[in-house]
Amino acid sequence: MHLDRFRIWYKITYRRGRVLATEGDAWTDLDAPAFFEDPGLFYHADGAVPAVEQKKVGRIAGAEVIRFSFPTLHPMKFPETNVAVGRLYRNLRDPGAPVVLISHGWAHRTLGTIEHLYVRPFVRAGFSVVFVMHPLHFERTPPGAYSGELVVSADVVLTVEAFRQGVIDMLAAASWLRSAGHTRIGLFGYSLGAYLAGLMAAVRGDWAFVVLGGAGDSPVSPILDTQLGRNIREDLAACGMLDRAKVARAWKIISPAAFRPRVPKERIFLIAGRYDRIMLPASARRLWRAWGRPRLQWLDRGHYTLLATNRGLMAHAVPFMRTQAESGPGPARTGA
């Protein structure tokens, strides 16, 4: 648990970040009933295929690496984040291999970590892999900010818009892959990325699998209930938003537990840490119950040791994903 304690300290002190604030009352419009009746309305789930530019940029063991980019289908006020950028790792042994769409965690700064922990093991297991850099991360980061800094903040509307753009960009990337003939695409999300992947499972039902590691019911919990959110709580208090009812209302639309997944329950796998101090066990249980109690595996890990060490998340995820990918995707259900 020492690793978890260090990482939490690092993100709330050394990486203090800029102070953002909620202004006005636009946040009161984010819980419109129509969005929950059909989340595809909010997340632009119309199957639009973006205009993708792609270029081969190298290889890793077992896969060629293709950089791709396209204009986001949901622009934000930061121009740097309005071009979606990602990598496709096409399996050289099987060009028609099932595809893992990775929804990555918060504040990654280099691609090497994602490749080492997740991409290479997935390729060895027989998958192709794709991931889109989340909004305001990596090269989508505005000047003067660090990767991911602006995604979750006391500006509750900006937080929603960042999550929204991230979901829409990944849905667009999946539409591009489907248009190219990749019919077996599954979701693998961890930490911050698990929220986005959970929302994607509520929008579409034709994912081959949905695996969430270190996931919770709502981003409200890690911000209001854990040490990680200490600085953001200070900022919320300064702008009059440090109120659970207000934040829960504003962030309901980015909370996976506010929806029932359209993916068949047998294709969903939640993996959680008993000692997680960021995605608290109580939050994981709330998601599990809200989703109709799909498969849930508890490991004796904290947050970072769950995600990034041997015999953790990947050891349990890969066998499940291979089994589900072999049986194909669930029925396509994108409507309410």
> What would the pLDDT profile of 102-118 be if each residue is shown by its tens digit?
999 998 989 999 999 99
Please report whether residue 224 resides in a domain: yes
Please report whether residue 333 resides in a domain: no
Please report whether residue 84 resides in a domain: yes
Parent domain of 69: 2-326
CATH of the domain at 128: 3.40.50.1820
In this prediction, residue 212 carries a pLDDT of 98
Lowest pLDDT segment from 15-19, 87-91, 242-246: 15-19
Question: 91 CB contacts (<8 Å, ≥6 apart)?
Answer: 62, 63, 97, 123, 126, 127, 128
Residue 94 has pLDDT above 60, yes or no: yes
Please report whether residue 264 resides in a domain: yes
More confident residue, 231 or 335: 231
Residue pointed to by tokens 């648990």: 1
Please report whether residue 81 resides in a domain: yes
Which residue, among 320, 307, 321, 303, has the nearest Cα to 118 in the 3D structure?
A: 307
What tokens appear for 120 in the block?
Answer: 């290479």
Which residue, among 226, 279, 240, 273, has the nearest Cα to 12 in the 3D structure?
A: 226
Residue 304 has pLDDT above 50, yes or no: yes
Residue 131 has pLDDT above 70, yes or no: yes
In this prediction, residue 300 carries a pLDDT of 97
In this prediction, residue 328 carries a pLDDT of 66
Total domains in the fold of the chain: 1
Distances (CA, A) of 145 to 62, 78, 142, 222: 35, 12, 6, 22
Which residue, among 291, 285, 211, 212, has the nearest Cα to 258 in the 3D structure?
A: 291
SS3 content of the chain, % helix, strand, coil (to 5): 45, 15, 40
Q: What is the pTM of this model?
A: 0.94
In this prediction, residue 336 carries a pLDDT of 31
Model pLDDT for residues 168-193, shown as the tens digit of each residue:
999 999 999 999 999 999 999 999 99
> What is the rounded distance in angstroms from the CA atom of residue 130 to the CA atom of residue 128?
7
Please report whether residue 255 resides in a domain: yes
Please report whether residue 335 resides in a domain: no
Please report whether residue 336 resides in a domain: no
